[in-house]
C-alpha cells in the first residue's frame, strides 16, 4: 500500500469512530492529522489546521506528550485547538497530580478539595500526615506522573516551594515553576508552558493558593515566540541527556 492508501484507510477508521460517513471513492474533504505528523514537529511547536480537521487519538496523545499546539487557521485571531483531556477549563477528564512534604501537607489537603470542586481528577502522591519527610521524594512522584503523561499537570507544596521546584526540574520533560502570586502563575504558563506548579505553604495562605492554582490551570500557553524559546529549553535538556 502506498502512503495515500494508508491515509485513506486511517481516514475511514477515524470517520467510523466519529460516526461520520464517507465512501471509499469520496475525495478527502477534511484535513487529517496523524501521529507521524505531530512527531515531526519540534517539542513546544505548532501545527496549523483548518476548521473541521480530524485528529487521530494517537496524534492527540503525541501532541500532549510533545506540548504541540494545534492552531486553527483562517480566522482573524487564530484560536487554540486542544485535545479534550488537555483543555484549559475544569473537566473530569483532566488529571492533576498533587504532592507535598510535611510542611505542605495541610495546604495540599485543602487544594485537593478545591481542585475536586473545580472538576479535576486529583491523584494524591502523598505525604499523608505532618510527620517529617523529604520533599524530593514527593516532588519526584508528581513530576514523574506528568513526564509520563499520566497527569495533565502537577502541583507540589513544601515550606518555601523552592526545593520541590529544583527536584521536579531534574525530571526530563518537566518545566516546574514556583509561583507566589497570580502574575507569576500567568507568566509561567503563557510564556514558559510550565506543567508543574510549586507552592510555598509558609509564604502564602489558603485563599492565595486557590487563586494561584486556578489561574495557573486556566492559563493557556501563548505559543508563537514563546514556543520557540520553550523548545530551546527542551533542546538544552536533550543535549545533556545525550551526554549521560
Pick the CATH number of 95-218 from 2.120.10.30, 2.60.40.10, 3.40.50.12780, 3.40.1400.10: 3.40.1400.10
Report the chain's C-alpha Rg in angstroms. Answer: 20
Residue 82 pLDDT: 35
Residue 183 pLDDT: 96
Task: Enumerate the CATH 3.40.1400.10 domain ranges in the chain, comma separated.
Answer: 95-218
Active-site annotation holds for 67: no
pLDDT along the chain (244 residues), means of 10: 63 55 46 78 75 70 70 48 32 80 98 96 94 95 94 97 98 97 96 97 97 96 92 91 68
Assign 180 to helix, strand or coil.
Answer: coil
Residue 76 pLDDT: 40
Residue 8 pLDDT: 65
Which phi and psi angles does 170 have, rounded to 5°?
-80, -15
Catalytic residue among 67, 102, 191, 226: 191
Residue 243 pLDDT: 66
Task: State the virtual CA torsion across 116, 117, 119, 122 in degrees, nearest 10.
Answer: -10
Assign 32 to helix, strand or coil.
Answer: strand
Residue 66 pLDDT: 66
Amino acid at each position: 500500500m502506498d502512503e495515500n492508501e494508508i491515509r485513506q484507510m486511517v481516514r475511514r477508521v477515524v470517520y467510523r469512530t466519529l460516526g461520520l460517513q464517507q465512501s471509499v471513492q469520496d475525495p478527502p474533504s477534511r484535513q487529517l492529522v496523524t501521529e507521524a505528523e505531530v512527531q515531526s514537529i519540534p517539542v513546544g511547536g505548532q501545527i496549523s489546521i483548518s476548521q473541521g480537521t480530524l485528529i487521530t487519538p494517537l496524534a492527540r496523545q503525541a501532541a500532549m506528550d510533545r506540548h504541540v499546539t494545534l492552531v486553527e487557521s483562517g480566522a482573524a485571531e487564530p484560536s487554540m485547538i486542544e485535545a479534550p483531556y488537555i483543555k484549559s477549563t475544569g473537566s473530569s477528564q483532566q488529571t492533576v497530580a498533587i504532592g507535598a512534604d510535611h510542611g505542605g501537607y495541610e495546604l495540599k489537603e485543602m487544594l485537593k478539595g478545591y481542585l475536586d470542586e473545580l472538576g479535576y481528577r486529583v491523584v494524591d502522591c502523598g505525604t499523608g500526615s505532618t510527620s517529617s519527610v523529604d520533599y524530593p521524594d514527593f516532588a519526584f512522584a508528581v513530576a514523574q506522573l506528568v513526564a509520563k503523561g499520566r497527569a495533565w499537570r502537577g502541583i507540589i507544596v513544601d515550606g518555601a516551594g523552592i526545593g520541590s521546584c529544583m527536584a521536579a526540574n531534574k525530571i526530563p520533560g518537566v518545566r516546574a515553576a514556583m509561583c507566589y502570586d497570580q502574575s507569576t502563575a500567568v507568566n509561567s504558563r503563557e510564556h514558559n508552558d510550565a506543567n508543574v506548579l510549586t507552592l510555598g505553604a509558609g509564604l502564602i495562605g489558603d485563599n492565595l493558593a486557590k487563586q494561584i492554582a486556578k489561574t495557573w490551570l486556566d492559563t493557556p500557553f501563548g505559543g508563537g515566540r514563546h514556543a520557540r524559546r520553550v523548545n530551546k529549553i527542551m533542546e538544552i535538556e536533550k543535549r545533556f541527556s545525550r551526554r549521560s
